[in-house]
Amino acid sequence: MGEFELIRNYFAAAPCAQTGEGVALGIGDDCALLTLPPGEQLAVSTDTLVAGVHFPEVCDPFLLGQRALAVSASDLAAMGAAPSAFTLALTLPSVDAGWLQEFARGLNVMAQTCSLRLVGGDTTRGPLSLTLTVFGHVPAGQALTRSAAQVGDLLCVGGDLGEGAGALALVLNQRTAPAAISETLLARYWSPQPQLALGQALRGKATAALDISDGLLADCGHIALASGVRLRIERERLPLSAALLGLLEKDAAQRAALSGGDDYVLAFTLPPEFLSGLLDAGWPIRVIGAVEAGQGVVLTDADGQDITPLTRGYQHFRETR
């Protein structure tokens, strides 16, 4: 099967690849054509996922299709952008019709969940890797960035932390757990739900935001650096689910929440006056700390003592000595 036949058979005909709102021209030409609403800016983000680094060498292709798009779409949520379209560059060691069918099915399920349309990409031969570029739009001047956190803001997250990291041992078949626990954690790992609606609800309210991919401590460090402030995280306020606490002891669960990564929920700074209105509207916001004068990120215990660990989160090119 040739490259173009592969694209036609498994991707171009998918429901998520059809033109619609915001997509004037999709798959089949040299470029896609996207239409922006008046007064809006284009938000663009690219992620690469490599077998053996971001997902196991052997895994369910349906679940991989869902996860690949979800983790990319989460970047749009972090900017408060409404989703529009995405492209996929797929590198395959060989053509496996069954694998492609299931991967494309998973990709389409997540695309429809996130209201994203597939508008192009590329295929080539090589070690399995996926590169996705997502496109969204946001009213000019209203994008959420990392650089405007203010002293006195609350530090918040959009839900439970640590479940993705806690699931990793289950994904790698290094341990087992009762179905009530494993199903919840594995769903969080393979089918994270980008908080696109929450991101849009935070426009004009949150002063800084990002999605948690490499660990809460590490990612909050990006906000602290960009905004020139210190973020204080209170360990006892970390939101931990019953499923995570059913798998791990509390100390291990807290470590997963702080530095494990793969959460794909939003972390953001919020002036206190906006909190009650967002909670009344039903958003799953948890306050975990505050923005202070200073620099960096500090973790405190119940007595207010600094217990910041050395390990902050995942880095691809960390130097070892």
Domain boundary among 139, 172, 199: 139
Q: Which residue has the tokens 């494309």?
A: 104
Residue 172 CA to residue 167 CA, distance in Å, equals: 9
Statement to judge: residues 201 and 107 lie in one domain: no
Amino acid at 229: V
Q: What are phi and psi of 234, to 5 degrees?
A: -95, 115
For the stretch 120-166, pLDDT in tens is 999 999 999 999 999 999 999 999 999 999 999 999 999 999 999 99
Q: What is the pLDDT of residue 67?
A: 97
Q: Where are the beta strands (DSSP E) in 51-188?
A: 82-92, 117-125, 129-139, 154-157
Residue 321 lies in a domain: no
CATH of the domain at 126: 3.30.1330.10
Range of the domain at 202: 154-300
| pLDDT per position as a tens digit, 154-205 | 999 999 999 999 999 999 999 999 999 999 999 999 999 999 999 999 999 9
293 and 170 together in one domain: yes
The SS3 of residue 67 is: helix
**DSSP type of residue 36:** P
Which of 235, 213, 222 has its CA nearest to residue 298?
Answer: 235
| pLDDT one-digit tens code per residue, 38-57 | 999 999 999 999 999 999 98
**pLDDT by residue (tens digit) across 289-303?**
999 999 999 999 999
Q: Is residue 305 part of a domain?
A: no
Total count of domains within the chain: 2
pLDDT in tens, 221-279: 999 999 999 999 999 999 999 999 999 999 999 999 999 999 999 999 999 999 999 99
Instruction: Give the phi and the psi of residue 267 in degrees, each rounded to 5.
Output: -115, 135
Are residues 161 and 269 located together in one domain of the fold? yes
Q: Are residues 131 and 195 in the same domain?
A: no
What 3-state DSSP class applies to 313? Answer: coil
